Each structure stands twice: as structure tokens, then as C-alpha cells.
Amino acid sequence: SKGVGQFSNFLYPRIFESELYFFRKHRGNLQANICAIFVEGAMILRILFTIPLFIIGVNRMYFQKRILTYWRVFCLARDKLYEKNS
């Protein structure tokens, strides 16, 4: 099994997707939208802090995957923010 501190390109988006689902289901649309906005901001910050490591060239494939995963989470939050509320 993987260590707790290791990054998972597969699980990372699922964690935020379930977090957004929880807020929409149990806290309502307003709090779910606020959560999605914070997730978007966090992903932009993570991308901005990871890009220099990618540019430097230290373990480029690892940081490229991280940037793509952060972008996926950002897009997921954006989709949840603008989906129709039922």
C-alpha cells in the first residue's frame, strides 16, 4: 500500500469530488458553491507553486502529473459550481 504522504493522481480528484458532493447534499447549494470556489483557488495556488519545480526540471514527469491533476480538480470544482441545482 502507499504511504499516507504520497500523492495519488487517481484519488486526489475523487477526494475533492466527494467533498463537494457532501457539501451539496448536507449543507446546501450556497455552502457547496463556497466550497467549490475555495477548491478552485487552492488548485490555482498549487499550480502556481508547482510550475517552478516543473521548470527547474527536478523530477519533471512527477510535477507534470501533479499540475495536470490540480487542473482536473480545478475543472471539476468549476463544473460543480455551474451545474444546475436540482
pLDDT at 61 > cutoff 80: yes
26 touches 43 (CB < 8 A): no
Q: Is residue 78 pLDDT above 70, yes or no?
A: yes
Contacts of 1 (CB under 8 A, 6+ apart): none
Residue type, 10: F
DSSP, residue by residue, 4-57:
TTS--TTHHHHHHHHHHHHIIIII-HHHHHHHHHHHHHHHHHHHHHHHHHHHHT
- Position 19 confidence tier, pLDDT thresholds 50, 70, 90: confident
pLDDT at 86: 44
Asked if 6 contacts 66 with a C-beta cutoff of 8 angstroms, the reply is no
| Percent of the chain at pLDDT exceeding 90 | 33
Over 70: is that where the pLDDT of 40 sits? yes
